[in-house]
Amino acid sequence: MTVVCERVVSSLSPDDMEALCEAVTAGILDGGGFGWLQPPGNQALERYFEGLLLVQERSLYVLREDGIICGAGQLVRPPSSYEAHAATVNLTGFFVAPYARGRGLGRALIQSMIQGAKAMGSKVINCDVRETHAAAIGLFRSLGFEHWGTHPYYARIGGQTVRGLFFSKLLAGEHEAARWQSSIAAPDAGGAPVSSETTKGHQGLMLYPAIDLKDGACVRLRRGEMEDATHYSDDPAAQAKLFEEAGCRHLHVVDLNGAFAGKSTNVPAIESIVKATGLPVQLGGGIRDMAAIERWLEAGVSRIILGSVAVKDPELVRQAARAFPGQIVAGIDARQGRVATEGWAEVSELEANDLALRMEDAGVAAIIFTEITRDGMLAGLDLEQTADMARRLSIPVIASGGVGTLDHLRDLRTIARDVPGISGAIVGRALYDGRISLKDALDVLGSC
């Protein structure tokens, strides 16, 4: 018997996904967690795991016996806005299929996940479990997890109330733990606790280099005007590859023709970008129904940006966010605070912040906010509007429109220290014009 525990860093093969869904289904039928009392079906499970792999705060680990997946677990880091909890990680979604139990596989999986938590710098690992899962409780205790609390109304199953137990394990060594505990407990002169994590500042912001497509070529617009476009490259795939080789970790792609036409237009160019790199691609422009969303996700796009449809068909956004968790982003483009649609050709009476709150309620993974009057003008981001929106939301806000110098990125980084809901920036013209080098931009943002 060969046992392997590994972190999943890319999409699972069809065979692996099928084995994982089979194991999860068996676990649910045996009284496992995941929030399901009955198996939801393989299609829902596949969407769940595909979406999970796109959430930066979650790490999926799988357990293989002789090459076949028979268990899994997740490590969940707090979002970057939760600086006080930056040294903790939660272990969740842990299970071993009933047909693979009794052979020490669960212990091997947890030990692998503990090492993963240490590698990411976590000092404490937390977990919770139903009181009825005696074997899991015994396993956690044997690995040094301490029971510190009980939830009297943890779950309602079969008409019965089930209690839940909370466990934690200190991962730091004895001396390191003493220093860590001291640093987070010591008050400053004013009596407020001082956190060592806080002194390190905000975690890195993500850089999203923009590839805007018009008639199959890479262009950049000024203030969203199709007639005011600067042509940069006839080979979008090669451009995407250059961004990847320079160290970028994500790509932001917009089908400009599609945004005006209401349907995807630059299909060959988009497909070539997806095939050219292994980077996650978020795509917007003219995607306005479930068929188009499914088509692009199946083609390898990682996240779909819904813009005009967020205003005109919010129920579609809600439906898509439920069907593809972690893969739907709302693009909110505004002219002086008022939402613009149809490729920025129409301006509504809807306030950008009001739409952002609606999109958060609909379940989108993030908001991309663009002040159109600044887009492509290189005069700097609208930091005031971006920060105001981020303060109102619990989901990340990605800033867009107007970056022209490194100082603009430094200003964003400074604001993000006070408003940690800001998670990244989209940069286009300044990169193509050479006003900002990719290396310098990545260094300033601290992107990782």
Q: Locate 44 and state its tokens.
A: 């829902």
Given 212, 255, 375, 382, which residue is catalytic? 212
DSSP, res 306: E
DSSP, res 8: -
- Longest Cα–Cα distance in the chain: 68
Residue 372 contacts residue 402 (beta carbons within 8 Å): no
Given 255, 333, 375, 382, which residue is catalytic? 333
In the three-class reduction of DSSP (H, G, I as helix; E, B as strand; rest coil), residue 29 is classed as helix
What span, in angstroms and rounded, lies between the C-alpha atoms of 298 and 286? 17
What span, in angstroms and rounded, lies between the C-alpha atoms of 245 and 233? 17
DSSP 346-412: EEEEEEHHHHHHHHHHHT-SEEEEEEGGGTTS-S---HHHHHHHHHH-SS-EEEES---SHHHHHHH
Helix (H) or strand (E) holding 4: strand 3-7
In the three-class reduction of DSSP (H, G, I as helix; E, B as strand; rest coil), residue 31 is classed as coil
DSSP, res 103: S
Sign of the torsion angle spanned by Cα atoms 306, 311, 317, 318: positive
Instruction: Clarify whether 212 is annotated catalytic.
Output: yes
Residue 366 contacts residue 395 (beta carbons within 8 Å): yes
Instruction: Clarify whether 15 is annotated catalytic.
Output: no
Tell me the catalytic residues. Answer: 212, 333
